Copies of this chain bind each other. A is one copy, B any other.
Amino acid sequence: MTVLALEVGAAGFAAGQVDDDIGSDAIRRIPLPDSEPWEGCRDLLLEVAAGTEVTALGIACAGPIDMAAGVVASVEIPQWRTGFAIAEAARKLFPTAAVSMALDGVCLALAERSFGGAQDAMDSLAISLSDHIAGGVTVGGFAVVGRTGNAGSIAHMLVPGFDEPCECGGRGCVEAVASGAAIRRWARGQGWSGDSLSALLASAREGDDIALAALGRAGTTLGKAISSAAALLDIDLVIVGGSMASAGPALWKPLGEAVAGSSRPGYLAGLRVLPSQLGDLGVLAGAGVLALLASK
């Protein structure tokens, strides 16, 4: 009787068994395989299942997805860009399991609402910052799924002051300025020579001007997007997690200043933007919540 959680991210896969107290030690991660991603993903799932009977599997996918069809079409996974029926593949792998999939951000919102920082909030926004930006909205206590499963995609909101081309084909999206991939790209264009998000965060901690400026751009962008979303949805609580959220004042100071400068209507006076207590496990933990909901 095993319940599994799977995270399909921009940089790789993570999976683990779901129990009352998910610890990071029980989670297995692999980078995106160069060949067919499902082969690596399947091996990872079989490894964490460890021969037990899987009764439920929750899958959190970087978007866009087609939730009803169980298809992931993340632009960051080249082989799946035109769509991969991941739910069907997972059902074949675990024929007795209840398989559910949702957007990574929707899973994140489920996790923050279930046992994270948004437990007491009926309306909130959860954001995970890493190579990719995930977002999820809670309205009236429930995670908003949207028509096709892509609600919460703060990554494709438009941000004043920036006009970078985005992988979606548009310009000025949050993702194109503030994602880990975007700030690495921008920093390299300015002369920074690192090659990973963790290297950029390390450079910023050492006071590297370019790395600090890259995080500053991200913080300002996110603050404006948060203000825009909060104004639209009358939300006063935003939880920000993911590996980039550990960047400290280099990210949080410009973010806070942008929120303070832009969230001026009176009903946003109490808007709080708080770091997640779930570290970079929020999305995977939410996939676990999804699996538990489906197995009940």
Residue positions of A touching B, CB distance < 8 A: 63-64, 66, 73, 122-123, 135, 137, 139-140, 144-163, 166, 168-173, 224, 227-229, 231-236, 261-267
For residue A277, give the distance in angstroms from its CB to the closest CB of chain B: 22
A170 partner residues in chain B, CB cutoff 8 A: 227, 261-265
Q: Decide if the interface of chain A is mainly helix, strand, loop or mixed.
A: loop
A145 partner residues in chain B, CB cutoff 8 A: 140, 234
**Complex alpha-carbon distance, A170 and B259, angstroms:** 10
Provide 17 A-B residue pairs closer than 8 Å at the C-beta atoms, listed in order of the A residue: A66-B267, A122-B147, A139-B146, A144-B234, A147-B236, A150-B267, A151-B233, A152-B234, A156-B228, A157-B228, A157-B232, A158-B227, A160-B160, A160-B161, A160-B162, A170-B262, A170-B264
A229 partner residues in chain B, CB cutoff 8 A: 232
**Complex alpha-carbon distance, A136 and B57, angstroms:** 36
Which residue of chain B has the shortest Cβ distance to A231 in the bound complex?
A: B156
Q: Determine which residue in A122, A153, A169, A234 has the highest number of CB atoms from chain B within 10 A of its CB, and name it.
A: A234
- Contact B233 A166, beta carbon cutoff 8 Å: no
CB within 8 A of A156: which of B64, B149, B154, B265? B265
A147 partner residues in chain B, CB cutoff 8 A: 122-123, 234-236, 267
**Complex alpha-carbon distance, A219 and B42, angstroms:** 48
Which residue of chain B has the shortest Cβ distance to A224 in the bound complex?
A: B158
Q: Determine which residue in A147, A148, A170 has the highest number of CB atoms from chain B within 10 A of its CB, and name it.
A: A147
A234 partner residues in chain B, CB cutoff 8 A: 144-153
**Complex alpha-carbon distance, A296 and B206, angstroms:** 65
Which residue of chain B has the shortest Cβ distance to A227 in the bound complex?
A: B158
CB within 8 A of A151: which of B160, B224, B232? B232
